[in-house]
Chains A and B, each alone.
Chain A
Amino acid sequence: MSTDALIMLRRNFKHIARNPVTVFNGALMPVVIMLLFVYVLGGAFNVGEKYIEYATPGMILLAITYGLSGTAVSVNSDMAKGIINRFKVMNVSRGAVLTGHVAATMLGSSVAIAAIIAIAFALGFRSAATPLDWLGAIGIVAATAFATAWLTVALGMAAKAPESAGLSVVPLLLLPFLSSAIVPAAKMGAGFRQFAEYQPFTPIIESLRSLLAGTPSGGYTAAALAWCAGIAVVGYVWAITTFSRRV
């Protein structure tokens, strides 16, 4: 990463850490949802194993997606307020403004994910994963965070105002609930089941689940990586073209 991008990363991470709303959404919400599902609702779900074992991979994903609305708002505010013009009349690398947002989002996600994993272990989550499996899991999580962050930067850039920018990522927040994150897709009603089976978050979660269980699934992992690559490319190209049109 360039020096400019590192400077922007520091700036954007301060934004995330200083805004109570983004801290709540990004770090506390996933924990609250996790406790809600594990203690309140999970007992009623028959998923064939201890619910905490089943739910942890999905919760890790929620820790990524819940951090996104803050990024969309922050990207949009940069464009709407004068600060972007200040960067533009300086010899600051254009890409650094965007990669700074992506990097700060991923840094925020890692904090939230670390919290989720720590709490999962405290709640009885146990993993049979080998160090190599863990490495694979980290890779999948990083690829997902990277891809969704670029898509979010594009969504934030394309939104008309900061208010609508926050809303534009709501579909990304809902998708994990309509995947096998909370309950297996096979148990969903007709229509939802097919949707859950073919949407990107299901292979991502299944791949993560298999890695954390120590039984890696090559098929899910390949599908997950393909989805991440696709989303990242679309997000990147969309973000860059919107950026150059707006500035």
Chain B
Amino acid sequence: MSTSDIAVSGLRKAYGDKVVLDGIDFDVAAGSVFSMLGPNGAGKTTTVNVLTTLLKADAGTVRVGGHDVATETRQVRSVIGVTGQFAAVDDLLTGRENLRLMADLKRVRSAGRVIARLLERFDLTEPADKLASTYSGGMRRKLDLAMTLVDSPRIIFLDEPTTGLDPRSRRTMWEIVRELVADGTTIFLTTQYLEEADQLAHLIAVLDQGRLVAQGTPEELKRLVPGSHVQLRFASVHELDAAARVLPGATPDDENLTLRVPGDGGVKSLQALLGRLSEYSINAEELSLHTPDLDDVFLALTGHANTEVNAQ
């Protein structure tokens, strides 16, 4: 993970007066998953379009697979695979023919074997000879991704790969992404789902109105937001009150018999907390650790809620 497969610096793009990308910088290590997170209209698809040679940037440099997207377009295209937001499959061809079309255009050798393997892997062998127009949304996405994989690209761009999918298809997609990473593929993923970025990404960048407002591992991002706490549950009000007296700063909730103790969840502070409880012979029924999720992060970073996610 030492070399960058994607290196972006000072990327700007505007349509007329409307600035879509206002100078963004990031690096994606080879073999890692980088997730760009943001609501609709934040500039995610524009970023993907620039990185995949579909769109020219107004300023900044973008290198993908070690090649400049503006001047070495052919080389960039030969190492990338792109699965866009809307399944780009040919409805009037069968699943197998769609894969064959890609294999032919990419001059893949022993295409028959590659196609059979992909159909198998994506659980599409049975409907392989039916027209793609008869496929469900989840099947179309899988076929779309399979089409991207016929020539085993080194770097894969997934633009909102699970938007509009049911939870089961979403999990299947996640599994596939994990397998790709295990094979050493570099993945650039955009999503509006915080959980998806949390599940898959090594590094997350939060994009808001054309700017990257934060970058880091999921854990680092969560730590940026105050509000980590330990929650203790007790068997009786008596014990809850006793605990509340000995733990400074704790907030009791009489109804649920829980006590909320601020803290970062580090091992030392937990030991101190438990030590204090046993010192006073107070028994807690249950202990749970609460770290803020990415929803909290988004709210804290941008000062406004991730409305797209809240609407889900």
26 A-B pairs within 8 Å (CB atoms) are namely: A4-B105, A7-B101, A7-B104, A11-B90, A14-B92, A14-B93, A81-B91, A82-B85, A82-B86, A82-B88, A83-B88, A83-B90, A85-B88, A86-B88, A86-B102, A86-B147, A88-B53, A89-B53, A89-B54, A89-B77, A89-B80, A89-B82, A90-B77, A90-B105, A91-B74, A91-B78
B44 CB to closest chain A CB (Å) equals 15
Tell whether, in the assembled complex, residue A90 and residue B88 are in contact, meaning their CB atoms are under 8 Å apart.
no
Instruction: Determine the interface band of chain B, counting residues with CB < 8 A from chain A.
Output: 20 to 34
A14 — which chain B residues lie within 8 A by C-beta?
Answer: 92-93, 97
A18 — which chain B residues lie within 8 A by C-beta?
Answer: 92, 131
Q: Say whether B289 faces chain A, with CB atoms less than 8 Å apart.
A: no
A185 CB to closest chain B CB (Å) equals 40
Residue interface mask B65-96, A partner, CB < 8 A = 1:
00000000010011010101111111111000
Beyond the given A14-B93, A19-B92, please list 18 additional residue pairs across the A-B interface where CB-CB is below 8 A: A7-B105, A14-B92, A14-B97, A18-B131, A82-B86, A82-B87, A83-B88, A83-B89, A85-B54, A85-B84, A86-B82, A86-B102, A86-B147, A87-B105, A89-B80, A91-B74, A91-B78, A92-B105
B97 — which chain A residues lie within 8 A by C-beta?
Answer: 14
Q: Say whether B191 faces chain A, with CB atoms less than 8 Å apart.
A: no
A92 — which chain B residues lie within 8 A by C-beta?
Answer: 105
Residues of B in contact with A (beta carbons under 8 Å apart): 52-54, 74, 77-78, 80, 82, 84-93, 97, 101-102, 104-107, 131, 147
Q: Say whether A193 faces chain B, with CB atoms less than 8 Å apart.
A: no
Instruction: Determine the interface band of chain A, counting residues with CB < 8 A from chain B.
Output: 10 to 19
A-B interface, 9 closest residue pairs, ranked by CB to CB distance from nearest? A82-B88, A86-B88, A82-B86, A89-B82, A7-B104, A15-B92, A89-B52, A91-B77, A83-B88
Residues of A in contact with B (beta carbons under 8 Å apart): 3-4, 7, 11, 14-15, 18-19, 81-83, 85-92
